[in-house]
Amino acid sequence: LITRKPLAAAAALPGVGYLLAAQLILFSIFDPTFASVPNLLNIGLQSSTLLLLALPMTLIVMSEGLDLSMGAVLGLAGVVLAMVLVRGSALPIALLAALATGQVFGLVNGLLVVFLGIPPFVATLGMMGVARGIALAVTGGQSVVGIGEALPAMYASSWVGLPFSVVVAACAYLLFHWVLYYTRFGTYVFAIGGNRESLTLAAVSTNTYHVAIYALGGLMAGFAALLLTGRMNAGHPIASIGMEFDAVAAVVVGGTSFERGNGWLPGTLLGVLTIGVLKNGLNVLAVPSSLQVASIGLLVIVALLIDSLRGRT
Amino acid sequence: VIAPATTAARSGISADVEALGYRVAGVLLLSIVLAVSSDAFLTASNVLNVLRQASLTFLIASGVTLVIIAGGIDLSIGANVGLSACIAATVIKSSGSIVLGVAAGLACGTAIGFLNGLMVTLLRLPPFIATYGMLWVVHGITFWYMAGETIYGFPPGFRTLGSGYVLGIPVPVYLMVLALAALGVLIRYTTYGYELYAIGANGEAARLSGIPVSGRRNLVYTISGAMAGLAAIVYLARLNSAEADIGEPLLLPAIAAVLVGGTSLLGGVGTLSGTMVGAVTLTLVLNGMNLLNINANWQPLVTGVVILLAAWIDIVTRRRVESKA
């Protein structure tokens, strides 16, 4: 979708729209409790952390990049968050520490990709090892427990009748939507993947914005640690390993392509929901969680097939 | 029609030898440092252990080397080794036949590689996303297949493949040399090898000069999968036990070995001998950390840093070569 108008793009609904609809219908038939409000809220709960990663991942993929370190960085930020909380610091300070951790990794990712010219999948693979190594070494591979009451209480709270994490995810989506479609930065994101040269010729410091895209990814991974740690009531070094794959899958299923800055943020939201619904539905059908991972891979291929059959790539 | 960078790399065997010389010198230097800092390093058992470990890393990394030379990447190799080893293990246990087990492991690895090839060539997915997706698909299937079980205790004949010795040298080392020779001949002395370099240097030019690019690329992913299958057999024979997560720690070292060995991420440049030296280098680093009692949890970090440094050096030298040309 080359158009920058979200509504015009929706007219050419990508395969993910049909996938999501088909899943909703199928799972409702197989299981009457699937379409209940508690279960739908549950899907929202499970999807919120993923959305926080998939939003910046969309921007990164649009810049013809990738961030394989996101899951590991999320794990490390969670460990940092939990350790600061265990030491008795206030929640905002712990959150700041987690954000800073994510930010540093995102920044280094960006510098490696943009200024050293290392292909993104290798740069972020290396950083994945670094983040994972630090998280494992600092914790000895154990969960960091005893994080106090503040975070779990906040996670369990609800705002305007919706779970805390769903509200946070919704706010994050609105913010990213605004940034991508209504700010200069958003325009530059489209141009960095689509027509980088013209951006440079227009005297925009392309490299700075390109690094900023990766930095944003790290920052959001740090922020997502808030939800993940709240949900697990502990900081775990490797619980989130591989979550970046779900995020990339959501982005690709949602119709953002690795070429020419073709991105569509509402598609990413649909992609995240599709993956959430798929996991939830497979749970309902008692499919083991190990096979759910495999089914996400299959989902990506099906979505891409539908799109290529309909003449979009 | 072969791009300039390729010609330089291929005709300039002396340049290759020189580059290899630097790497071997690096290995020697590292060995001296380790020998000085740890008494345990220069013992026969430790040296053989390093060689055996390096052979395993090389077997996995050799296929990836070919893929990267052809301008692609295979991130699924670690997971591939995991599933292939688990399948080989169950077949040996249930049938009692070593041959059947080895065949099953090789077939599994090759099939995964072939599917990677199909995703890249038929579905036109970018290689890093196709093989990364495959990583998690295979990972999921392995955990489902094993259902938390550990399979252990294999016939001595099978275990020889991983932990046996011939003339005092570990069997995996022979396999490494064999793989180096076979794949080395393939990429140095066959048309297919030339075509891989050409595709990696400039895929579009290769297509226009009549090379069936899709078929050639499909085959290179299949080879990578087959090598992962072979590595799985050796790994299983050495561990003497199979669990769902045994392939997980293998991806980063394999990629690091390829990059340290001087194969360029940009495609069209690389040697298998370099990858072998890279595998030895990386094994020495990790072995040294063990000997110096550094917590094994730091290993992913060190491997990650090695990958980043090697990739950085690759990009810098490649830029220098291209600005000269």
Across the interface, do B136 and A126 touch by the CB < 8 Å criterion? Answer: no
From chain B, the residues in CB contact with A252 under 8 A are 129
Phi, psi of B38 (to 5 degrees): -140, 130
Q: A68 in contact with B at a CB cutoff of 8 Å?
A: yes
Q: A311 in contact with B at a CB cutoff of 8 Å?
A: no
Across the interface, do B132 and A242 touch by the CB < 8 Å criterion? Answer: no
Q: A114 in contact with B at a CB cutoff of 8 Å?
A: no
Question: For chain B, what percent of residues have pLDDT higher than 70?
Answer: 95
**Closest CA relative to residue B108, chosen from B79, B73, B133:** B79
Question: How near does any CA of chain A get to the CA of B302, in Å?
Answer: 7
Question: How near does any CA of chain B get to the CA of A9, in Å?
Answer: 23
DSSP secondary-structure letter at A116? S
Q: A253 in contact with B at a CB cutoff of 8 Å?
A: no
Q: How far apart are CA B71 and CA B259, in angstroms?
A: 13
| pLDDT tens sequence across A210-268 | 999 999 999 999 999 999 999 888 889 888 888 888 999 999 888 887 766 678 899 89
**pLDDT > 90? residue A35:** no
Distance of CA B259 to the CA centre of its chain: 11
pLDDT score, position A80: 96
Q: How far apart are CA B41 and CA B36, in angstroms?
A: 9
Q: How far apart are CA A94 and CA A226, in angstroms?
A: 9
Q: How far apart are CA A147 and CA A233, in angstroms?
A: 7
- Going from the C-alpha of B319 to that of each of A116, A118, B22, B102, the distances in angstroms are 11, 12, 19, 44
For residue B142, the chain A residue with the least C-alpha distance is A290
Contacts of A135 (CB under 8 A, 6+ apart): A72, A75, A76, A79, A237, A238
Q: How far apart are CA A227 and CA A82, in angstroms?
A: 12
**pLDDT > 90? residue B31:** no
**Closest CA relative to residue B118, chosen from B134, B104, B107:** B134
Single-letter code of the amino acid located at A140: G
Task: Look up residue B176 and give its two tokens.
Answer: 């490494």
Judged by average pLDDT, the poorest of A101-105, B1-5, B314-318 is B1-5
pLDDT score, position A262: 76
**pLDDT > 80? residue B19:** no
Q: A127 in contact with B at a CB cutoff of 8 Å?
A: yes
| pLDDT tens sequence across A101-120 | 999 999 999 999 999 989 89
Average pLDDT, chain A: 87
Distance of CA A248 to the CA centre of its chain: 8
Confidence band, pLDDT 50/70/90 cuts, at residue A8:
low
pLDDT score, position A10: 53
pLDDT score, position A311: 58
pLDDT score, position B157: 86
Q: How far apart are CA A272 and CA A249, in angstroms?
A: 8
Single-letter code of the amino acid located at B309: L
| pLDDT tens sequence across B196-221 | 998 988 888 888 888 888 899 999 99
From chain B, the residues in CB contact with A112 under 8 A are 308, 312
When pLDDT is averaged across residues B218-239 and rounded to a whole number, the result is 95
Phi, psi of B321 (to 5 degrees): -60, -45
Q: How far apart are CA B83 and CA B87, in angstroms?
A: 6
Single-letter code of the amino acid located at A166: V
Question: For chain A, what percent of residues have pLDDT higher than 70?
Answer: 92
**pLDDT > 80? residue A149:** yes
Single-letter code of the amino acid located at B153: G
Interface confidence, given as ipTM, is: 0.83
- Which residue among B73, B141, B255 places its CB closest to the CB of A294? B141
- Which residue among A116, A137, A301 places its CB closest to the CB of B298? A137
Q: Name the 3-class secondary structure at A149.
A: coil
From chain A, the residues in CB contact with B297 under 8 A are 133, 136-137, 140-141
From chain A, the residues in CB contact with B307 under 8 A are 122, 125-126, 129
| pLDDT tens sequence across A43-61 | 888 899 999 999 999 999 9
Q: How far apart are CA B7 and CA B201, in angstroms?
A: 10
Exposed, middle or buried, B189 (CB in 10 Å: 0-12/13-18/19+)? exposed
From chain B, the residues in CB contact with A297 under 8 A are 133-134, 136-137, 140
pLDDT score, position A1: 45
DSSP secondary-structure letter at B256? H
Triad A106, A298, B109: Cα angle to 5°: 90
Q: How far apart are CA A66 and CA B214, in angstroms?
A: 24
From chain A, the residues in CB contact with B245 under 8 A are none
pLDDT score, position A299: 83
